[in-house]
Amino acid sequence: MSTTPEARDRALRLRELLAEGVLVLPNAWDAGSAAVIASAGARAVATTSGGVSWSLGHGDGERLDRAAAVAAARRVVAAVDLPVTVDAEGGYGPLPADVAATVTELVRAGVVGVNLEDSTAVGGPLYPVAAQAERLRAARTAAEAAGLPELLVNARTDVFLFGLGGLDDVLARAEAYAEAGADGLFVPGLLDLDALTELCRRSPLPVNAMAGPGGPTVAELAAAGVRRISVGTGLAQAAYTAAHRAAVELLGAGTYTELDGALGFGELNGLY
């Protein structure tokens, strides 16, 4: 199986962006949000599984099936002329073969990067280290078989997100995940700058942090050594909050001040 030259170019570009410095990824949840994020100057687009799930009427936590997740990814890829990396949750199945099937379909959809997490369910437990390493190895093998060996595999560990261990546990996973072919380490839930500095110093993989309100700034995370910064469901939450506030005002006071400052119809329509 082969992939397109355009896809390989985008995969290489995504790798270059990570190698050049700090890659900031505002997370999209559909084609429209991806186009808006691209128009804001993003150099690549990442998706958020939570936002994608909400946009399709489901909760987060692999409540989408593989087909729906791949179809959503395909729409995002088609909406932008940028590398797209997709939050593939746990790979839509527990077995290495499940992860391989998901990666194969995402590569066919034009995706050039994936996040794969090591939690078996929201809140944990986590896959044993060796089992998750096998799942990541299956992802790498599937990408090569699909004609995209350059696929960037970002291994997410939920050790800190769900309070299931400490820095040494993360580092043990980082070593195993790197050996299995992962290209990056995503540690949501860890925003302590001292701990991040230590992790970035010792990790064999570039570290990705999930930022948000009240946490360290992009500059502070970069100074700690973080190489990739995303915001998870943050932008989707902000967008849905804006819609809720406008609807409450319209249905209550009957006024429209929450709509002030919105992007114009022509501006949005022109993105497509």
- What was the pLDDT predicted at 25? 98
Q: What is the mean pLDDT of residues 84-112?
A: 98
Residue 167 has what pLDDT?
A: 98
Q: Is the pLDDT of residue 86 over 80?
A: yes
> Is 258 a residue whose pLDDT tops 90?
yes
Specify the pLDDT at position 2. Answer: 65
Non-local CB neighbours of 73 within 8 Å, separated by 6+ positions:
47, 84, 86, 106, 109, 110, 111
Per the CB < 8 A criterion, the answer to whether 168 and 138 are in contact is no
Please report, to the nearest 10 degrees, the dihedral formed by the alpha carbons of residues 12, 222, 33, 212 taken in order. 150
Residue 120, Cβ density class (10 Å: 0-12 exposed, 13-18 middle, ≥19 buried) = middle
Q: Copy the structure tokens of residue 164.
A: 């299931």
Distance CA 48, CA 210 (A): 11
Q: Which two tokens stand for residue 256?
A: 């429209």
Looking at residue 3, what is its pLDDT? Answer: 84
pLDDT of residue 162: 97
Cβ neighbours, 10 Å, residue 44: 24
Mean pLDDT score of the chain, rounded to an integer? 97
Average pLDDT over residues 173-192: 98
Contact 228, 188 (CB under 8 A): no
The torsion region of residue 214 among left (phi > 0), alpha (psi -120 to 50) and beta comes to left
**Model's pTM, two decimal places?**
0.96
The pLDDT tens digits of the residues spanning 60-80 come to 999 999 999 999 999 999 999
- The rounded distance, in Å, linking the Cα atoms of 31 and 73 is 9
The pLDDT of residue 95 is above 90: yes
Model confidence at 1: pLDDT above 90: no
Give strand pairing partners of 126: 119
Place of tokens 């701990």: 195
> What are the pLDDT digits (tens) for 216-247?
999 999 999 999 999 999 999 999 999 999 99
Contact 11, 113 (CB under 8 A): yes
Residues 153, 136: contact at Cβ < 8 Å? yes
